[in-house]
Structure 1
């Protein structure tokens, strides 16, 4: 069915009230969108984080008479002549539209991430089959792409790899397909562990991957390579546990770091490792290094 979409410019302190009012006025759904594409990181339990400048999108049936709704919103001071747009939306198969926009992606020289509904571009390449889901990482975000390109640049033959904060398992699975002998994935979220296992099964590597919650992973495990694509704050706080799993002269990659956070994260690791030049992708970056010899 066709729809009408009402976009209203809001602030983080009134966006939820606007959402409530749109639902009261008959909106079938309400969505919050950042006006400036600023990242919002994981909220605390029970906390709702919104951007300082938020667009509230209300979706209405196309047969809805919008004039009384606009009048009601105007009377409450929610909308004015300059802060809203009313758009008709054509009827589409939205699932297929979304699938159409997700294509195989190449990272480095050998590695491709491919959705299941498209043929692989290069059957002789290293192909990881991964469909985009609701969370965890599929390669489309710069932080994941930075880590995938780094893994592709390494000789992982016979190496042990730790994926710290494995999410979808995309980095762990890529490491296995790039030749790693043993890979462990650790995540605090049981759903991420399940997602990693499901994706490993789709890629035929479930017998080679070990997945653990932090408290359950083998304490004697040390890796040749560690990759941690999480966030700047936990990367700073967890320098000990992250590097404790890495051999002397082992290599590591850290991502999930904004450009302005790079120096503060790198500084924490400089006491334990030699740090390479930082790699940037738009506003995000990747920090790599080699731990000191024993």
Structure 2
């Protein structure tokens, strides 16, 4: 199917309203793109963080009368004489196939591979986790997930128990189980994450060793030898009392989802009860690990 898009240069104050209006007048999808290549980082609670100068890109069926769309935007006050916009035809492609072609098996550490189901396994003798991108966060492509996977690969997990706090797709818990952990628990606030983790565990043959809980339903006495939490710096600091209590005596902790500039404040919270290792950094993101004192 052919498509046409309109790209409108907007501001962080107006982009959300513009997006809502484009949905109302028939846009198939609306996305934001930073027009100054400024990275988007951690939002404040309840905040939708945009950029100082934001391009709003709306996709329409190619048969749409785009002049009618422009007139509607002008009449609604979203375009004026100073507004910059561009209308572009989009090449008709099999986007799903193109996306699949660009998702490859990835190696983490010495033993661990994350492989999409439609690709051939590069090393049948390695520890292979079969995982397809889906609605829940976590496929290994983000530096924070990669840092956590490499840390797990470097641990002796044989016979250990593991908690994946903020499990998302379940990738860390599943990887730990396939690396030798006796059992694992995944915890998340999102029911979609619990479902995705369950499905991915079944695909990898480890569902019988993985328990999943919404955060509010986790057992009060829950603890494990290894706890990993790949969320964000703010929640990690706020949830220090909760996360630290999950670690058994002599257990180890791995934290990520933390920008390099945020690592000192997270370390300050956790060094009260953990002997921390040197912070590991990759592409502006960091991983904090340590052992319970």
Partner of 1:125: 126
User: Aligned-residue CA RMSD in angstroms?
Assistant: 2.4
Superposition map of 1:21-170 within 5 A:
21-23=21-23, 26-35=26-35, 36-39=38-41, 41=43, 44=46, 48-67=48-67, 69-70=69-70, 73=73, 76=77, 78=79, 83-170=84-171
Moved more, 150-159 or 82-91: 82-91
Give the drift of 1:32: 2.5
Q: Is the 8 A contact 2:164 2:229 kept in 1?
A: yes
Give the drift of 1:102: 1.2
Superposition map of 1:167-186 within 5 A:
167-186=168-187
Q: Is the 8 A contact 1:18 1:78 kept in 2?
A: no
The 1:22–1:161 alpha-carbon spacing in structure 2 relative to 1, beyond 3 Å, is: closer
Q: Is the 8 A contact 1:4 1:86 kept in 2?
A: yes
In structure 1, C-alpha distance between the alignment counterparts of 2:94 and 2:14, rounded to whole Å: 32
Partner of 1:13: 13
Give the drift of 1:222: 2.7
Partner of 2:267: 266
- Structure 1 counterpart SS, 2:207: coil
In structure 1, C-alpha distance between the alignment counterparts of 2:200 and 2:156, rounded to whole Å: 23
In structure 1, C-alpha distance between the alignment counterparts of 2:162 and 2:249, rounded to whole Å: 14
Moved more, 261-270 or 231-240: 231-240
In structure 2, C-alpha distance between the alignment counterparts of 1:133 and 1:52, rounded to whole Å: 30
- Structure 2 counterpart SS, 1:18: helix
In structure 2, C-alpha distance between the alignment counterparts of 1:51 and 1:191, rounded to whole Å: 28
In structure 1, C-alpha distance between the alignment counterparts of 2:71 and 2:85, rounded to whole Å: 13
The 1:165–1:5 alpha-carbon spacing in structure 2 relative to 1, beyond 3 Å, is: same
In structure 2, C-alpha distance between the alignment counterparts of 1:40 and 1:8, rounded to whole Å: 25
The 1:256–1:74 alpha-carbon spacing in structure 2 relative to 1, beyond 3 Å, is: same
Structure 1 residues 157-187: Cα deviation after superposition (integer angstroms, max 9, x where no partner): 1111111111111000000000111211122
Moved more, 82-91 or 72-81: 72-81
Corresponding pairs, count: 290
Superposition map of 1:223-234 within 5 A:
223-234=224-235
Q: Is the 8 A contact 1:8 1:79 kept in 2?
A: no
In structure 2, C-alpha distance between the alignment counterparts of 1:249 and 1:25, rounded to whole Å: 59
- Structure 1 counterpart SS, 2:208: coil
What TM-score do you get using the length of structure 1 for normalisation? 0.89
In structure 2, C-alpha distance between the alignment counterparts of 1:190 and 1:239, rounded to whole Å: 23
Q: Is the 8 A contact 1:114 1:130 kept in 2?
A: yes
Partner of 2:289: 288
Structure 1 residues 8-61: Cα deviation after superposition (integer angstroms, max 9, x where no partner): 1211211133234545665443222344341354863xx654333322111133
- Structure 1 counterpart SS, 2:289: strand
Partner of 1:252: 253
